Chains A and B, each alone.
Chain A
Amino acid sequence: MSIQGASVTVEDLTVAYERHPAIHHIAGRFAAGSLTAIVGPNGAGKSTLVKAIAGTVRPAGGRIRRDPAGPASLAYLPQQSEIERSFPITVLDTVMLGAWRRIGWHGAAGPDEMEAALAALEAVGLEHFEQRGVSTLSAGQFQRVLFARLMVQNAPLILLDEPFTALDTKTTRDLLGLVERWHGEGRTIIAVLHDFDQVRAHFPDSLLLARELVAWGRTADVMAPDNLIAARRISEAWDENALACHAAAGAERLRA
Chain B
Amino acid sequence: MLYDYLAGPFVEFPFLRRALVGAMALALGCGPIGTLLVLRRMSLMGDAMSHAVLPGAAIGFMFAGLSLPAMSLGGLGAGLLVALLAGIVTRLTPLREDASFAAFYLMSLALGVLIVSTHGSSIDLLHVLFGTILAVDDTALILVAGITTVTLVALALLYRPLVLDAFDPGFLRSVGVPGGTIHGLFLTLVVLNLVAGFQALGTLMAVGLMMLPAAAARFWAREIWSLAAVSSLLAGLSGYIGLLVSYHADLPSGPAIILTAGVLYLVSVGVGRRDSIRTRYFVKSHLAA
- List chain A positions with a Cβ less than 8 A from chain B: 54-56, 70-72, 74-76, 78, 82-84, 87-90, 94, 97, 100-101, 105-106, 133, 149
Contact = CB atoms under 8 A, between A and B. Distances in A.
Nearest to B169: A82
Contacts, number: 59
B171 A78 contact: yes
Interface stretch (B115-123, B154-162, B243-251): B154-162
A75 B170 CA distance: 11
Could you say which interface size class chain B belongs to? 20 to 34
A207 B161 CA distance: 34
Given A89-B163, A97-B164, A70 B176 contact: yes
Given A87-B39, A88-B224, A106 B174 contact: no
B175 A100 contact: yes
Interface string B171-212: 101111100000000000000000000000000000000000
A64 B167 CA distance: 28
A56 B171 CA distance: 10
Contacts of B169: 82
B174 A83 contact: no
B164 A78 contact: no
B207 to A, nearest CB: 22
A100 B177 CA distance: 10
Contacts of B161: 105
A89 B224 contact: yes
B168 A88 contact: no
B4 interface: no
Contacts of B173: 54, 56
A38 B205 CA distance: 53
Given A76-B174, A89-B224, A82 B168 contact: yes
Contacts of B176: 70-72
Contact of A101 (B159, B168, B175): B175
Nearest to A103: B160
Given A83-B171, A90-B223, 19 more contacts: A54-B173, A54-B174, A56-B170, A56-B173, A71-B176, A72-B175, A72-B176, A78-B171, A83-B170, A84-B166, A87-B39, A88-B222, A89-B167, A94-B167, A100-B175, A105-B157, A105-B160, A106-B159, A133-B222
